Amino acid sequence: MKKIIFVSILSGMLLSFGSCAGYLDMEHFFKDRLNVDSVFTKKDYSDQWLAGVYSQLQGENADVASKGNTPFNYISDDMFYGDRPGGDEYTVYKNGTYTENNKQGSWASCYQGIRDASTFIDNIDMNRQMSQSEIKDTKAQARFLRAYFYWLLIRKYGPVPILPVEGIDYTADYNALAVARNSYDECVDFITGELAIAAKDLPLNRSARYITRPTRGAALAARAKVYIYAASPLFNGNTEMSDLVDDQGRNLIAQTYDESKWARAAVAAKEVMDLGVYHLFTVAFTDTTQSLSQPKTIIPPYHAVYSENNFPAGWKDIDPFESYRQLFNGAVGPAANPELIFTRGFNQPNEGIDMMVLHQMPYTLKGWNTHGITLKHCDAYYMNDGSDVPTNPRVSGYTANNTSNLPLPANVSLQYANREPRFYASVAYNGSIWDNTSAKDADIGKKFTQTFYYRGESDGKQASSPAFHIRTGIGIKKYVNPIDSWLIGGGVVPKAEPAIRYAEVLLIYAEALNELTKSYTVANYTGEGSITVGRDVAEMSNAISPIRIRGGVPDFDASIYANADLFRKALKREREIELFAENHRYYDLRRWKDAPVEEATPVWGCNMNMTKAQRDLFYEPVVISSLPTIFAKKMYFWPISQSELKRNKKLTQNPGWTYYY
Amino acid sequence: MILKMKKYITIILLLFVSSISLFAQNTDAEITGLITDKNNQPLIGVSVVVKDRSGMGTVSDENGKYKIKANAYNILIFNYVGFEKQEIPVKEKTVINVILNENSKSVLSEIVITGAGVQRKATVTGAITTVNIKSLNIPTANITNALAGNVAGIIAMQTSGEPGSNNSEFWIRGISTFGANKAALILVDGVERPFNEVNIEDIESFSILKDASATAIYGSKGANGVVLITTKKGEAGKVNISGKAEYGYKTFTRLPEFVDGTTYATLANEAKITRNQEPLYTPIELDLFKKGLDPDLYPNINWQDVMLKNGSSSDRATINMSGGGSTARYFVSGSYQNEDGMYKSDQSMKDYKTNSSMSRWNYRANVDMDITKTTLVSLGVSGFLESQNFPGLRNDIWYSLVGQTPVSIPFLYSNGLVPASGTGNKTNPWVLATQTGYREYWKNVAQTNINLDQNLKFITDGLKFRAMVAYDTRNENNIDRLKWPEQYNIERRRDRDGNLIMKRISTESLMYQTSSAYGYRTYYMEAILSYDKLINQKHRVGALLKAFQNENRTTSLTSTDIISGIAQRNLGTSGRVTYGYDDRYLAEFNFGYTGSENFKKGSQFGFFPAVSFGWNIAQEKFVSDAAPWLSQFKLRYSYGEVGNDNVGTRFPYLSTISANGIGGWNFGDINNTNNYNGLHFEQVASDNLSWEVAKKHNIGLDVSILNGLFSGSLDVFQDTRDNIYMRRSYLPVMVGLTSTPFANVGKMQSRGFDSQFNLHKKIDAFDFTLRGNITYAKNQVLKYDEEEVSLPYRMTKGYRYNQAKGLVSEGLFKDYEEIRNSPKQTYGEYLPGDIKYKDVNGDGIINDDDRVAIGATREPSLVYGLGMSLRWTNFDFNIHFQGSGKSAYFISGPGVYPFSEGAWGNILTAVSNPANRWISRSISGDPATENTKAMFPRLSYGGNSNNYRESTFWLRDGSYLRLKTLEMGYSIPQRISSKFNMNNVRFYLIGNNLLLWDKLKIWDPELGSGNGMTYPPMKMVTLGLTFNI
């Protein structure tokens, strides 16, 4: 018996010696490193985590940035660029010869942002240093961001997989973690649902220190944007896209038209308007010229109503040109801008708006001289009385001096005379003046340079540098501040990104109302009330007219409001003008299914082969053969990368694009 | 822990000292006698000692007579190699004549060292090879080089011959995982220690544990097999001193052979002309190369002659002493070895040497002490100091040697300036070897283990307890003292005055130093409780329980990484239960329950069981009656699981959060900048990891005929390795990770067999042994982390690990007609005489989709050896062949592809033979030279992307057979040696790697080198002497 006890004791000692788990416990070495607990219990680390999520909004996910990040701003029918590499990058996009590997960075950064946002949402409740309201706010921000990443994905790729909110289990088998695409409507329901939840906890306003954080208005405006896309022809009863299916053959684009989708969009826009927080940005009327770059207000032609009333009923007390120009050129910061609903602020370290400006600027002023607009877009701007610009025949003749046709300087084609103020704030016509007021020292003489694009001029077509001339002879002024200069000693005013502004919400509201044939009652975002909408002409005009008055042009005629087709056409043109160079046109033409016509029409422009002596011929429109235009069905949606299709076997490709071999 | 250990050591040393004084002295009488064998022949040199009286011993003289003092209560022990030991009590006798019986070594009594201690071979059920150290005649420092072809179950290859780097890589039963850890576990005296640092003369036994049943006891460490080494211990008896001295002369087995300057220039011209380009050299220049009239502008250098010696030396000496009484015994040894490299040195530099070399001093002391009748304490102390030397820029030498053409530069310009083709690895090879300073590397290691063996028979018979504590430290240091001279190149013309136009390539660098150090210490502790008993002469039962802890800690820390400062720890419990009935039916159960710090709390422990069975058929009565000549016929089977916790990364279950790899955000307005860094998972946690598990089957057969005339064994195995760790590199991007997690996703199976036999016959003075062994192992990847592709042959899955893949060559294009009628090749322009590839997928285009599995793997799947030993009177002769097969690799690089890098890259002599290359008829004037079966395609200058790519055209069979050892020895007759008080004196001559038969023919195939830029293995002749006092 004793023996047995002895042997058992000895064995027991051996067993405990060989299995004392404390010997293997190394976690105490790591307890002072950052881990999920230490990050989310402390305020500063939580904010840093959230900053990491925000950082995914940069680069290819930017709404407005230069073409290296967002070529979509340039490859529709209104803008173009001529550089990169050897001038054929634009051609690749426009000919549809880009591949499944082009511009896939946003797929990765969106989904990384989605995962990190989900981690934040799941863990922030454990924070011990944030107040309950801070936790609610930051959680709502993360929720907004997650939804916004999905929105950026569906805008570019069409329907995408909505991942489980806790994130995909990366430890699962490759087959098990394959996820199929959700239908476009499912994506929309998820995104708008999440934005509604976020809106409840987000504040109405942000201080200047936190101006790039979303507000309730940002969440609601993004929601309206998502809804208007979902109501548009591309996604609403589009049988042409019956071949966009998931791995089970299920249609991902709604095959039957549902008018109530427009009503949802209208209500969502109305909810932003009803917040009462936003209004259009205006600059006051001035009758004194302070400097060449700050001229006195050019008063639009007399209008019985608008000339007599203050904004928004009229333009008596505002300067339409400066109102539109200063909205974009950095003259006003985001915190002081009542129109800005959501902005990434100044968070685009490269290929941002300053780079856009650099590429718009003339060669002689050390710019790249390569971004321009098509003649079609140039002609879209109204005359200052609201009429169309005559194109057959075009206005001939030139300004005689600097004062005959303000704001035109001397020797400028009269085609550009008497145009609406937004034209002058947006278009660098042949002979326009670049202010460059910050230029110093050696280049001081280049301030207020009048730039011509005639052949033989330094900024005209050059055999030696074919990529660097404005192909149509019509450049871009939007985002340019008179101060901006890349000349010696010059500086560029930082410009906040206008991701969503109030004018767009107003346009969404009017567009959606126009499509309604009866009235709809839709629950509001809190689910606690409802709003009824129908095609109410007064409501539509209330939304549109301030935009036009701010731009110095009269509202549309009643005949246009009376006819849904005419109004639709006018609204599309209004979006083209008002939202120019803000990365809308490419997506708008697609959602309206107008791209097959608009993007396939040849690009016209001035005849860049003509010298100053042949300036009449310069203005004789020609087809710009170096700017091709084609539209194929595959160009509706960006392709999904083949490597991603390989890795996620349930993923299906967009129509017209290929799988891997 | 260290303090505690020091205390133990002190106590043990005290015990050791006091035990010496325990010996008592009584009155002694002189005893004499004659020692003979059964045939009445006197035996010379028989050891005669008095039991329990240390140092009291003698040997019999040349007439077989001995004299010794002893008292009546003493016991005399007579011991002689090859004979059975006898113990005779003195009592009242003064003359004791002894007849010693020859050792009738029964097969059934042979022993095997297993993971749980010594076991009789007859009862072993696992797959274990015990190696006879004496048959490994290796006069090199490196025991690993003797494994291939000598040990069944080992696949090995030697990939360098440079002193200090000439170990063989080896794998037990081949490579059976593609995970981070493919290497076998090496245990020296039970502690994990490097293999090739043990002095060979110190090794007592050496076992390879191959199957799960043999290795289960090591739990998480035994998945790739285990090598067990035990060192010698002292035996009671007179002092036994033996020594060995060797001197060897060695030279390369094979170097690539390159053409001379004239041939080089002629071929370069052909390469240009055949591609419709201007020839590189005019006829006058060709003549200048040939006549050597202008060695500055038109040199003709054989760089191998300039840089390499014809031969170098290596020497070794070792001496050891053993002895002791029955209460304390010792084995003490010391050894020295030195190997020199093959680089020439600059005679003018006497301050330091630049040639590569390695020297090592080993020592060892093993002391066993019987503290009580049942308690044995053993102390083992060993260590070594090793130093190595290399030329300063050693890593570039072989690249430069293969690349430097004979006409590129002279080795010194006539104006005394130093030439160079370029910087870095294009430096003049002579400069690299002699003028770039030197690198010193040394390591010192001290190893200590203390064992306690306690026989617990006072509790119950057969119960034993054993404990061990081991503590090892290691230091490694590198000092690189580097410099280089000012170096020049010249224009290919002279100036107006006929002087050379010098262009400086690099400025002089005076000597500067870089250094690094590395070290670690290991602490190991184990305790074993075992029980063995034979019940009723039929039932043999055994049980064992073992517990261990292991800690490894890096001692030279410069890293800021927290992980590097954390000791690596393992612990576990393991055990076995054995049962044997009448030694006929055997069953064994083993298990390992081991823990690893590498996994999350809660999943740190793994349980690894194994079972095995054995059936000694020859012991069955019906068999022994029918075939009495069949001494042994044993069938074995085992199945078990073994684990592996080495992921390659430590603590993969932890995540890292940092700002690395993610941007931040400015929340503020332009005048209110409010920047925050971003945070994210820099590395996500892989907290679902568990063990890589090997599931091993083994069927074995042991046969012995006529009590050892023939013996052999055959083992067939299948090892399925599951849950192999891999990084998951193909997660969809939409998972949203910025780092790749680890997972247990891979699976691999390897199958094969290993076998050995031994034929031994002794007829009077003639002793003959023939032995052979073979190992074959082939693996297949069953699951691998990879992307799905539509062409299954482009995947890793389904093929061998490291399977060679490439295009299939269909020879050379005959003419343009054939080119027009063949699928389009997409790798660049091609002409007749260029390589034609097979369109495997039939799409009419040759591209990477036509790459398929071709040939085998670089590592051989088959290794075999065949040897023979003869002994006749005092002469002995030993011959051993070793071969390997099922190996293939691509050859490539500037030394293989002619002129692929233009003026860089030497040309193999094989190219210069017109029969070996395709030559356009417009050059040779003979259509027959457009040989579409030639070894080299149409020459080209400056690379050819169609020809020079991985394909069967450049795939070479790496199999070979070599005469690994040839040994002749002569022992001085004992009657002569005993006059010098020597017991045994033997002279011998050993040749290593003397002959080689292979298919590669360019350089030594065992290197597995694709480009020849490697220091080859050595051919060596060694003269040696051993003696025994």
Q: Give the model's pLDDT for residue B624.
A: 86
CA distance A42 to chain B (A): 13
Q: Is the peptide bond before B898 cis (omega within 30 degrees of 0)?
A: no
The model's pLDDT over A221-251, given as tens digits with 9 standing for 90+, comes to 999 999 999 999 999 999 999 999 999 999 9
A-chain CB neighbours of B546 within 8 Å are 14, 18
Query: What residues 646-665 of chain B have any CB closer than 8 A to a CB of chain A?
Result: 651, 654-659, 662-665
Q: Give the model's pLDDT for residue B21.
A: 42
Task: Give me the percent of chain A exceeding a pLDDT of 90.
Answer: 82
Residue spans of beta strands (DSSP E) within A401-473: 427-428, 432-434, 449-451
B-chain CB neighbours of A641 within 8 Å are 733
Query: What residues 756-775 of chain B have any CB closer than 8 A to a CB of chain A?
Result: none
Q: Give the model's pLDDT for residue B54.
A: 60
Residue of B465, B531, B665 to mutate, testing the A interface (most A Cβ within 10 Å of its Cβ): B665
Query: What residues 849-888 of chain B have any CB closer than 8 A to a CB of chain A?
Result: 849
CA distances from residue A207 to A184, B420, B671, B672 in whole angstroms, order as listed? 36, 68, 12, 10
Contact B888, B804 (CB under 8 A): yes
CA distance B649 to chain A (A): 15
Q: Cα-Cα-Cα-Cα dihedral of B626, B628, B629, B631, to 10°? A: 120
What three-state secondary structure class fits A37? helix
Q: Which residues are CB-contacts of A208 (< 8 A; sequence separation ≥ 6)? A: A333, A335, B668, B669, B671, B672
Closest CA to B589 of B604, B616, B606, B607: B607
On whether any CB of chain A is under 8 Å from the CB of B723, the answer is no
| Count of CB pairs separated by less than 8 Å, A with B | 237
On whether any CB of chain A is under 8 Å from the CB of B73, the answer is no
The shortest CB-CB distance from A116 to any of B548, B570, B680 is to B680
C-beta atoms of A170 and B664 within 8 A: no
On whether any CB of chain A is under 8 Å from the CB of B688, the answer is yes
Closest CA to B698 of B136, B37, B212: B212
Query: What residues 787-806 of chain B have any CB closer than 8 A to a CB of chain A?
Result: 787-791
Mean pLDDT within A93-103: 92
Q: Give the model's pLDDT for residue A275.
A: 96
Q: Give the model's pLDDT for residue B981.
A: 77
The model's pLDDT over B487-512, given as tens digits with 9 standing for 90+, comes to 999 888 888 888 888 889 889 999 99
Task: Give me the percent of chain A exceeding a pLDDT of 70.
Answer: 98
Residue B305 backbone dihedrals phi, psi, to 5 degrees:
-65, -40
DSSP code, position A291 = B
B-chain CB neighbours of A661 within 8 Å are 789-791, 849
Q: Give the model's pLDDT for residue B56.
A: 66
For tokens 């009327």, name the residue. A285
A-chain CB neighbours of B672 within 8 Å are 208-209, 211, 335
Q: Give the model's pLDDT for residue B977.
A: 81
The shortest CB-CB distance from B672 to any of A17, A209, A349 is to A209
On whether any CB of chain A is under 8 Å from the CB of B684, the answer is yes
DSSP code, position B797 = T
CA distance B339 to chain A (A): 43
Q: Give the model's pLDDT for residue B139.
A: 58
Residue spans of beta strands (DSSP E) within B566-709: 568-581, 585-596, 605-616, 630-644, 656-658, 665-666, 675-676, 680-683, 692-705
CA-based end-to-end distance of chain A: 75
Q: Give the model's pLDDT for residue B588.
A: 93
Q: Give the model's pLDDT for residue B104.
A: 60
CB atoms within 10 A of CB A239: 12
Residue stretches of chain B with pLDDT short of 50: 1-6, 12-25
A-chain CB neighbours of B736 within 8 Å are 111-116, 163, 167-168
The model's pLDDT over A543-559, given as tens digits with 9 standing for 90+, comes to 999 999 999 999 999 99
Contact B450, B377 (CB under 8 A): yes
C-beta atoms of B671 and A112 within 8 A: no
pTM: 0.82
Contact B589, B641 (CB under 8 A): no
- DSSP H or E run through B626: helix B621-626
Rg (CA), chain B: 33
C-beta atoms of B668 and A177 within 8 A: no
The shortest CB-CB distance from A494 to any of B527, B670, B736 is to B670
On whether any CB of chain A is under 8 Å from the CB of B544, the answer is no
C-beta atoms of B459 and A18 within 8 A: no
Alpha helices in B699-850, H assignment, sequence order: 816-820
Residue of A nearest to B786 (CA): A647
DSSP code, position B925 = S
Q: How far apart are CA B950 and CA B754, in angstroms?
A: 33
B-chain CB neighbours of A112 within 8 Å are 680, 736-738
B-chain CB neighbours of A24 within 8 Å are 569-571, 595-597, 604
Q: Give the model's pLDDT for residue B98.
A: 87
The model's pLDDT over B693-735, given as tens digits with 9 standing for 90+, comes to 999 999 999 999 987 789 999 999 999 999 988 888 899 999 9
On whether any CB of chain A is under 8 Å from the CB of B731, the answer is yes
- DSSP H or E run through A512: helix A502-514
CA A573 to chain centre: 17
C-beta atoms of B668 and A211 within 8 A: yes
Residue of A6, A19, A39 to mutate, testing the B interface (most B Cβ within 10 Å of its Cβ): A19
A-chain CB neighbours of B572 within 8 Å are 18-19
For tokens 């999350």, name the residue. B600
Residue spans of beta strands (DSSP E) within B624-765: 630-644, 656-658, 665-666, 675-676, 680-683, 692-705, 710-727, 742-763
- Put residue B424 in one of left, alpha, beta given phi > 0 → left and psi -120 to 50 → alpha: left
On whether any CB of chain A is under 8 Å from the CB of B424, the answer is no
Tokens of B929: 């030279």
C-beta atoms of A345 and B667 within 8 A: yes
- Find the angle CA(B631)-CA(B633)-CA(B639) to the nearest 5 degrees: 145
Residue of A nearest to B666 (CA): A347
